[in-house]
Amino acid sequence: MSIRSRFAPSPTGYLHIGGARTALFSWLYARKHGGRFILRIEDTDLERSTQESVNAILEGMTWLGLEYDEGPFYQTHRFDRYKEVIQQLLDQGDAYYCYCSKEELEQLRAEQMANKQKPRYNGKCRDSAVPHGEGMPVVRFKNPTDGVVTIPDLVKGEIVVANKELDDLIIARADGTPTYNLTVVVDDMDMGVTHVIRGDDHINNTPRQMNILKALGAELPKYAHLPMILGSDGARLSKRHGAVSVMQYRDDGYLPDALLNYLVRLGWSHGDQEVFSLDEMVEYFKLENVNVSASTFNPEKLLWLNHQYIMNSDPAHIARHLSWHMGELGIDPSEGPDLIDIVKAQRERSKTLVEMAAASVYFYKDFDAYDEKAVKKNFTAGTEEVLMRLHDKFSAIAEWEGEKLHQIVINLAEEMELNLGKVAQPLRVAVSGTSVSPAIDVTLSLLGQEKTLSRILRAINYIKTQINSGQS
C-alpha cells in the first residue's frame, strides 16, 4: 500500500505553530514510508476564508521546506462533487432533509441543557419526509443508532465511541453548501488518503466521518490524533504564548531548520536526542513514539535551539537566510564582505539572524553615531595618539591580512607601554561605533583597508571636535 498523508488547513488565518507541527508530522510520515504528501485548502467557510490567508499558508510551507507532492487542492473547486455525494447519500437512505428551524433547535438545546442532557438533535425529521415550517431544509446524515465506532488510533490507542452518542450531523446547509464533515470525507476518499494525522481536537469528528465513509463504501484511512500544544500556564496555546504566524518566526530571525527541529520535539522523541537534521527526523520518525499527553511551548528552548543551528550549520546555509534580513535593513549584501565570512565572525554571539544582521550593519555602511557608553569609556586622554599611530601603521602595509593586523595592534601596545585593551578597544569603537564586535583582526579584515582607515580618521576628528573641545 502506498502511503498518502495530507495537510488540510483552513485559510481563515495564518499558518501557526500547531498547524505547522501537524504539517510536519504528516510530511515526515509520508517521507519516511516513501509516500506522497498532499496539500488541501479547506476553504468552504466562504465568509472567513481569504486569499491572503491562502498565500500565508503557502508562504509558510515554502519557508519551512515542507514541499508537497500533490495540490494545493481547493474545496471550493469541488462543490459539484460534494453535491453528487450528498445526493448519493439521500438516494441510499443514509441522509435526509431536515426542516427544523433555528428557533426549534435552540429551544430543544435549552430544554436538554435544563434537564442536564447532552445537547443533540432529536431526530424529528429522520423518518419523516413531510416538510414543516418555512425555509429550505438542511441535509443530515443518518447516523447509526446502535453499535460502536472503534478508532484504532496510531497515537492514542483504541478509542471506542457508542453510536448513540452521535447525533445526525448536518452535511449540507440550507443554501446547499456542504459542511466540513462531509467535504473532508469526500476529499480523503477521492484523494486516496491512507493516513489522517491531525490534532486531537478532531477526535469528536472522527467517528462521524468514519460512519459517513462506511455509508459510501469507502476504505477507512488510519487515524493519528496529535496531542495539543499548551502555553507555559497550561492553557491552550494562543497568541499571547507565541502562537503567531510561522512567518513571524522568520521575521524574528529564526531558521526554518531550528523551528522544524523544535516542532518535531513538541510531542515526539527519539531517546534523549535534542538536535536533529531533517534527514534524521525522517529516519527516526514513528507515530508510535508520539506522546499521548499535551506538550508545552517553551520560547526559551526554541531560542536556544536556534542558536545551536546558527553556530553549527553550514555558514553558506545561514548566509542565504541572513541575506533576507540584511535586505530588510536596506543593505545590499553584495556590496561589502562575503556574508559567509560575516556568519563565521558573528555566529557565536548571535542567537537570531535579526541580532546578527543588526550587529553587522557597520560592515556595509557607515554608522550615524557612536555608542555613548563606548565613547565615554574608550575615547579618553591619549586615545587620539593611539588612533593616529594605528592609522599610520595600517596605511603602510600592502597586504591587508588578519594576523598581520593583529600583530600591529600588539606591537603598538608594547611600544606605548599600554594594556592591549587600551589600543584594541578604542580601535573597535572607531571602526564599528560600539565596544562589541568580533575579534579585532577579524573585524578589520572584514572591513577592509579603505573603510578602516577612513573610520579611524573620522574617530580622530570626532575626538578633536567633541572630546578635546569639551575639556578645554
Catalytic residues: 239
Name every residue whose Cβ is closer than 8 Å to that of residue 370 and which is 6 or more positions away in sequence.
Answer: 379, 429, 433, 434, 459, 462
> Residue 458 and residue 450: Cα distance in Å, rounded?
12
> Residue 25 and residue 17: Cα distance in Å, rounded?
12
The three-state (H, E, C) secondary structure of the chain, written as one string: CCCEEEECCCCCCCCCHHHHHHHHHHHHHHHHCCCEEEEEECCCCCCCCCHHHHHHHHHHHHHHCCCCCEEEEEHHHHHHHHHHHHHHHHHHCCEEEECCCHHHHHHHHHHHHHCCCCCCCCCCCCCCCCCCCCCCCEEEECCCCCCEEEEEECCCEEEEEEHHHCCCCEEECCCCCECHHHHHHHHHHHCCCCEEEEEHHHCCHHHHHHHHHHHCCCCCCEEEEECCEECCCCCECCHHHCCCCHHHHHHCCCCHHHHHHHHHCCCECCCCCCCCCHHHHHHHCCHHHECCCCEECCHHHHHHHHHHHHHHCCHHHHHHHHHHHHHHCCCCCCCCCCHHHHHHHHHHHCCCHHHHHHCCHHHCCCCCCCCHHHHHHHCCCCHHHHHHHHHHHHHHCCCCCHHHHHHHHHHHHHHCCCCHHHHHHHHHHHHHCCCCCCCHHHHHHHHCHHHHHHHHHHHHHHHHHHHHHHHC
